[in-house]
Amino acid sequence: MGSQDVTNAPGVSAIFMVYGLNEGEEAKSAVKDLCGEFAAIVRSMRKRYPDSNPSAVFGFGAEVWGELFADEPRPKELEVFKEIKGAKHTAVSTRGDLFFHIRASQMDVAYELASIISAKLEGAVYHIDEVHGFRYFDGRTIIGFVDGTENPENDDAVSFGVIGDEDEYFKGGSYAFVQKYLHDMRAWNELPLPEQEKVIGRRRYTDEELGDDVKPANAHNAVTNITDEEGNELKIIRANMPFANPSKGEFGTYFIGYASTFSTTRRMLENMFEGSPAGNYDRLLDFSTPVTGTLFFVPSWELLEKLAED
């Protein structure tokens, strides 16, 4: 069993759902019932649609953890996300109790899984946010650059994305942080290509990283590159997906970062919004605005089933 599907590739189609928990014991019971059934639901979908490789992740916000699982310890870094206010841009904090990240190679299969989950929770939760993401060409964001280039792979993905022996009770779990970004495409498209590349820190068409003599200190891939005290690079698992509603003029990226420790993700966010040194904020934020920001904990499959019995 082990960890939920946090290290999977972003996929072709994705649905992100955030719910709030209604009051009352019946609502809590419905969520706990889903905890016990969730693994079987995902397994069933994989048997029905093996070619679509469906997967799903189920996480919990800080405020609801104590309500649902009063007799369980709290994950060490699970807290209500504290907004990060820089000189110009802010990483906002928004409410979220339950989080689902659904992936499949076909949207109809992702929809089927989302509809089953929603039916199980009917009356127990209320809608906060839902985003349908899609693969854009060869894994690019709406703004045209390849996303997730620096993601760790294989054993490194597990090491950076999943809690290990250092926390035996929560081993196999992961911290998931999500932000829904909206892009100012008019302003972005007016920026000449060489300037766009300096904002990102990579070539648009070849995905090559800009040299240090060309890349600005506030390029996106510069400010999100962090290290520990020994100089070792720290990483997270990004499963970002583009989304769009062209008739509304809405174009965005749903950012999701899975990590074995939220402190890594938070340091990246502080670099982006506050800057290190202060004021050296991520230039991409001049074109991309986060409208949500929520931290969730994703239990291992084994702990998820135990939570159903709590």
Q: Which residues carry out catalysis?
A: 147
- Residue 50 C-alpha from the chain's centroid: 24
Q: How far apart are CA 292 and CA 257, in angstroms?
A: 14
Locate 277 and state its tokens. 């040194």
Tell me, letter by letter, the H, E, C secondary structure of 80-93.
Answer: CCCCEECCCCEECC
Q: Are strands 174-183 and 125-134 parallel, antiparallel or unpaired?
A: unpaired
Answer for the pair 81, 177: CB distance below 8 angstroms, yes or no. yes
Helices 301-309, 25-48: inter-axial angle, 10-degree rounding:
140
Alpha carbons within 13 A on the beta-carbon side of 128 = 21
Helices 25-48, 107-120: inter-axial angle, 10-degree rounding:
150
Q: How far apart are CA 212 and CA 22, in angstroms?
A: 51
CB count within 10 Å of CB 85 equals 12
End-to-end CA distance of the chain: 20
- Residue 37 C-alpha from the chain's centroid: 23
Q: Bridge partners of 127?
A: 19
CA torsion through residues 137, 220, 132, 142, sign: negative
Report the length, in residues, of the chain.
310
